[in-house]
Amino acid sequence: MLDAAAGAAIDYLRGIGDRLVLPGQADVEHLAVLGGPLPDQPEDPVAVVELLARVGGGATVASTGPRYFGFVTGGTHPAALGAAWLAAAWDQNGAYDVMSPTAARLEEIAAGWVLDLLGLPADAAVGLVTGATMGNLAALAAARHALLARQGWDAEAQGLFGAPPVTVVVGEEVHVSLLKALALLGLGRERVVRVAADDQGRMRADARPPLDDRTVLCLQVGNVNSGASDPCAGLIRAAHEAGAWVHVDGAFGLWLAAAPSRRHQVAGVELADSWSTDAHKWLNVSYDSGLAICRHPDALRSAMAATGAAYLQVGGAREAEHHVPEMSRRARGIELWATLRSLGREGVAALVERTCGHARRFADGLTAAGFSVLNEVVANQVLVSFGARTPEVVAAVQADGTCWCGGTTWHGVPAMRISVSSWRTTEHDVVLSLEAIRRVATSVLGRGGAPGR
Ligand SMILES: *Cc1c(COP(=O)(O)O)cnc(C)c1O
């Protein structure tokens, strides 16, 4: 069984750099053979996995390949993939220490390494969640707990009915997932106070409203379009003088702190009260892997622990369940540990530096070809305009299949977004992709036609 699966996985990854990034229409339609009525009779698992590899594999998006630049998407580092295979064979429940000492220790070790790499307080509490959305949720639940506890209100016991109000301040370009977290927490996605942003999408410190000790200020490092980071140091100091809680959404941008030449962009971020980040984006851990980090361990544990159930009060160990929304869950610290152990401090820094360098190459190549790069390329994100017909160019680049880039709107202008986040991307992949983008754009816009602005 495992030989069959491994063989199929190895074949898949051998070809990942050669296939078109998007599957063909025929492959997508072929997925229908996986459906039909639920079979009555059992089937050999090997046959099932072989069918899955053939039909399912054919209609995958090559997002783990070297030329996928959509959203902010890391590939799977080899150590993560190998560890994931083992983790699946072990099938450990990561909820409690007693369920898996291996899962519990690896989670603790990996959490400590992440705090060290990112320059965050060594005694912060860390929950390993599915991604930055749940990282935002868990961390903001801790903030909600702390701010209401100060006012004598027990949010977990009493809920929000009749609770004193909490104000949430966000930047104009807050990520939609943070608003989703606020909605889930009963804090309301439209109740937020929005602070104006500058031309790179950073919160404008001079536009910050007055804050107090009933306020959560949500900052962002790594704007999903421009890659720019809010000016953390000044904003966090001012917020703390007023007694506010500061949360930072750093889904990918927090990893700038792991690269010596980029760290200054997020200076002061370590002063915040809570952070959310992803391991499945820039760190290239397999899905799904994110972290909720909180300077105040009791706040996170009070918000997350299922203390109602007496049988769950086990020993003095760090219980994973007390740090995350889930109880039973896959032991996702295993892949995180393996990736960090394999890359090491220098490998993580090199991954961040290298992908930023590729983004720079994209920006330079596109500018040289006569297209407008819209953002200051400070990280791994590039926004390019092909004029009014940008959406057509984006669709044609996607259909061409050499690479995949997403469309976006940047300050009212349609743009194509290039995010270089994979360990697999080489300089050659950038050259191939630039050639394809130039060729496709020229053909859409008409030979010799100026792209316009
Ligand atoms: C991607 C992203 C998120 C959401 O992360 P998920 O891993 O998809 O949950 C949140 N904030 C920012 C800034 C992001 O880039």
Closest atom of ligand 1 to 222 CA is: 13
Element (H, E) at 330: none
List of domains in the chain: 82-338 (3.40.640.10)
Gyration radius (Cα) of the chain, Å = 23
Could you give the CA distance from residue 441 to residue 421 in angstroms, rounded to a whole number?
A: 23
Residue type, 405: C
Nearest-CA residue for ligand 1 atom 12 is: 251
Mean per-residue pLDDT, 289-316: 81
Looking at residue 448, what is its pLDDT? 53
Ligand 1 geometric centre to CA of 71 (Å)? 9
Q: 93 near 312, Cβ under 8 Å?
A: no
Could you give the CA distance from residue 151 to residue 448 in angstroms, rounded to a whole number?
A: 66
Phi, psi (deg, nearest 5) at residue 26: -65, -40
- Cα atoms in the Cβ-side hemisphere of radius 13 Å centred on 403: 32
Nearest Cα neighbor of 53 from 27, 76, 75, 77 is: 27
Could you give the CA distance from residue 112 to residue 91 in angstroms, rounded to a whole number?
A: 24
CA–centroid distance for 219 within its chain = 16
Looking at residue 449, what is its pLDDT? 53
Each residue's pLDDT tens digit, 123-149: 999 999 999 999 999 999 999 999 999
Looking at residue 307, what is its pLDDT? 75
Q: 8 near 50, Cβ under 8 Å?
A: yes
Ligand 1 surroundings by CB, under 6 angstroms: 72, 131-133, 175, 177, 220, 222, 224, 249, 251-252, 278, 290
Looking at residue 453, what is its pLDDT? 44
Each residue's pLDDT tens digit, 160-208: 999 999 999 999 999 999 999 999 999 999 999 999 999 999 999 999 9
Residues 6+ apart with CB under 8 A from 203: 171, 172, 195, 196, 197, 219, 220, 230, 231, 235
Could you give the CA distance from residue 196 to residue 338 in angstroms, rounded to a whole number?
A: 41
Each residue's pLDDT tens digit, 349-372: 999 999 999 999 999 999 999 999
pLDDT at 240 over 50: yes
Ligand 1 geometric centre to CA of 2 (Å)? 33
Ligand 1 geometric centre to CA of 133 (Å)? 6
